[in-house]
Structure 1
């Protein structure tokens, strides 16, 4: 597939590291990411976080970003030309991500059903593939997004600096409250929409393992706490805009003692910066 228009103007840097909780137990990183050209010259950025409580969640997260890729390639086979077409395509993309994920999970489960084991017959459920998804199909100034679960997006714009434009759900207390791609109520909690911003200069898609390490908490006039991007988030975009700084530097940052202390979860960041 040919490069997207995005490739000529933006630089993508990514890193995904296992959290200290998983590392200490010898458990694989259950996050996944994918990025690249899709459809008619557009670009996909996607991250997913497999639920640590489920045995096939790492597989589920891989299927989640694969579903986002395949859905984008189909829905955006022809680039939208008007704002109305963009809104319509974004709505279809959100539905296609869910449908494609369901299809991929069913393909994965089918050969495992009723397989004899030493203790009886194997039964595999959809819940074992529990994962979140945050996906963006980009053709600046248009950014179509789909979010299931507690991933978040920080966008840098000029002028204006960094802002948390897709926050993690407020009131999140335990992993049991997270909505997954396998959850029965996922459609009610599905967040999707279209961002149109000619000033966009940076994107940072993050899984929930980075909430405590990357975001601040502020309080509104009513005293209610809400997450926000710290003022120094601009420094991340500035640092990774430099050609000599790559994904290995981002990996080292995510594996640092500072980030390890903020959360025991896996940590994934997919950044894109305007050149």
Structure 2
């Protein structure tokens, strides 16, 4: 299971926490929590979980946005690669560092400038990633991993993905007052003839990077997951499964909730026979609610 930090360093603090709850007036503060568990195959074979996640809150610089920046990242190591667990952990950590520093350092307008910022941060992540794995002496492909990143500022939400991670945002309500979830577009496959996942170490991976910019002050929850939860988080028609998403967000929204208080129950759900029967891969869920 990925470890969570509790320290502040260089303008960033892990695991945002404050008081609040669903149905109350919301501030710009976010409460976050994530969990990664072994899939059935890895439990059966004694293989470690090859997913990872990280989150960090960055204080804005003098020329930065009008408030803190939250960065969320999940990574899914390639099951066939011997050091993909390390690759996923490294990718997630580098993402919260570089994307956070870039977004907190200067205020950018919604639109092309956000896409440019995301691409620039991605280049820094891949540069440091490849340099770090080169120093091990092992092939870069041994550390293969996907990467999905969400950056939340007071003005916009940015999303970058390479590979098959999922991102859901909650905003608005239907005519019955039920909250609406929206699936952000996923990155393209390696080619129109292939469903092969693209990794940070894939040749010309930058060709398949997907970036999005969303300017909606009504967003009050974000969920990231690796593809091990595809069948649980999506309906058969590939729309968000609101029942599942609401259930996993609920405990994080209670007024006195402590991030991680429901970790054992959440991990048990992700390891359950019901979810394992439809997808035996490792599973990561990273939640953030605005309180």
TM-score interval w.r.t. the shorter chain? 0.7 to 0.9
| Deviation of the 1:79 alpha carbon | 4.0
| Number of aligned residue pairs | 253
1:132-171 to 2 correspondences below 5 Å: 132-160=146-174, 161-167=180-186
C-alpha distance in 1 between matches for 2:147 and 2:136: 25
Q: Which residue of 2 aligns with 1:30?
A: 50
| Deviation of the 1:67 alpha carbon | 2.1
Secondary structure in 1 matching 2:200? coil
Secondary structure in 1 matching 2:148? strand
- The structure richer in strand per residue is 1
C-alpha distance in 2 between matches for 1:155 and 1:172: 27
Secondary structure in 1 matching 2:217? coil
Asked whether the 8 Å contact 2:56–2:100 carries over to 1, the reply is no
Of residues 4, 7, 14, the one that matches 2:34 is: 14
Q: Which residue of 2 aligns with 1:190?
A: 209
1:191-270 to 2 correspondences below 5 Å: 191-218=210-237, 227-232=238-243, 233-242=245-254, 243=257, 246-270=262-286
| 1:26 to 1:202, Cα distance in 2 relative to 1, 3 A | same
2:72 corresponds to 1:45: yes
Q: Which residue of 2 aligns with 1:70?
A: 97
| Deviation of the 1:198 alpha carbon | 1.2
C-alpha distance in 2 between matches for 1:203 and 1:96: 21
| 1:171 to 1:138, Cα distance in 2 relative to 1, 3 A | same
- The structure richer in helix per residue is 1
C-alpha distance in 2 between matches for 1:91 and 1:143: 14
C-alpha distance in 2 between matches for 1:83 and 1:173: 30
For structure 1, list consecutive stretches of 5 or more residues without a partner in the other structure: 113-123, 219-226
For structure 2, list consecutive stretches of 5 or more residues without a partner in the other structure: 1-7, 19-28, 61-67, 175-179
Asked whether the 8 Å contact 1:39–1:75 carries over to 2, the reply is no
TM-score by length of 2: 0.78
| 1:101 to 1:170, Cα distance in 2 relative to 1, 3 A | closer
| 1:170 to 1:196, Cα distance in 2 relative to 1, 3 A | same
Q: Which residue of 1 aligns with 2:120?
A: 95
C-alpha distance in 1 between matches for 2:235 and 2:190: 15
TM-score by length of 1: 0.82
Asked whether the 8 Å contact 2:189–2:197 carries over to 1, the reply is no
Asked whether the 8 Å contact 2:188–2:209 carries over to 1, the reply is no
Secondary structure in 2 matching 1:158? strand
Q: Which residue of 2 aligns with 1:80?
A: 107
